[in-house]
């Protein structure tokens, strides 16, 4: 039952939203703050960015996103605030895995192959 709830299209939209928010935030931050860009020499700011901020970003975005989406969007397994936050945390934690699964399903559905330079790859 729980797995059926998580495989609904609305969950795919939330996971995609988490991915897009984190991706855009990362690109903008690395553009505005060159000290955290991976091509610069190792700095304390880059260590903080890569080891703390980037891993926590999907979790925090997921928790925030499930609070602002309409109630009928997320699975019915999240009826109250605590369960919504837990759902957002779990979707954020497993965001990369969910997104790869969704991407593979879309590619299989439309017979599209990702290139090496693919933004989503």
Domain membership flag for residue 115: no
Domain membership flag for residue 60: yes
Find the domain containing 93 and state its range. Answer: 2-110
- Identify whether the C-beta of residue 73 lies closer than 8 Å to the C-beta of residue 10: yes
The model's pLDDT over 8-67, given as tens digits with 9 standing for 90+, comes to: 777 778 888 898 999 999 899 888 988 887 787 888 888 888 888 888 999 999 999 888
Q: Which helix (H) or strand (E) holds 29?
A: helix 9-32
| Count of structural domains within the chain | 1
Neighbours of 112 (CB within 10 A): 11
Domain membership flag for residue 121: no
């Amino acid at each position: 039952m729980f797995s059926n709830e998580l495989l609904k299209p609305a969950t795919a939209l939330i996971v995609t939203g988490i991915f897009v928010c984190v991706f855009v935030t990362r690109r903008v931050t690395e553009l505005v703050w060159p000290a955290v860009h991976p091509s610069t020499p190792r700095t304390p700011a880059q260590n903080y960015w890569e080891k703390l901020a980037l891993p926590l970003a999907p979790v925090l975005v997921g928790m925030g996103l499930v609070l602002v989406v309409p109630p009928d969007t997320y699975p019915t397994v999240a009826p109250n605030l605590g369960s919504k936050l837990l759902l957002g945390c779990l979707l954020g934690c497993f965001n990369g895995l969910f997104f790869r699964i969704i991407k593979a399903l879309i590619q299989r559905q439309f017979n599209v192959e990702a290139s090496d330079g693919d933004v989503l790859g």
